[in-house]
A = this chain, B = another copy of it.
Amino acid sequence: MRPNCDESIECPCPPVGLIDVVGKKWAMCVVTLLGRNGAVRFGPIQRCLSAVSPATLTSTLRALEHEGLVRRVPLADAGTTHSAYQLTVTGDALYRCLLPLASWLRRS
């Protein structure tokens, strides 16, 4: 997976891994969402993101959890099931790195 630089030109390399981490369709969207709002529950996230299918959202959240970017917070709340998701310290660092990128996208 890693580029092997046999050329005199400089080879960046890192960005390849970035795609694996945040290349999922909704991953950066979720990170940005949580970065702005702190802990958010499953339902609101889903409704906010174009009503992404629950299966896809679950997959995205699990991936982000696995990368240590997001933490799941169960909320013991009188009978019904509740839980929320929030960024870890690492996830928040990534979020701040994404800010210039987000503003670049809003260009033009």
Chain A residues at the B interface, C-beta cutoff of 8 Å: 1-7, 9-19, 21, 23-26, 28-29, 31-33, 36-37, 40, 44, 47-51, 93-94, 96-98, 100-107
Contact = CB atoms under 8 A, between A and B. Distances in A.
A100 B97 contact: yes
Nearest to A36: B10
Contacts of A5: 48
A4 B28 CA distance: 16
Given A19-B23, A28-B19, A44 B102 contact: no
Contacts of A10: 33, 36-37
A17 to B, nearest CB: 6
A81 B101 CA distance: 36
Contacts of A9: 33, 36-37, 40, 44, 48
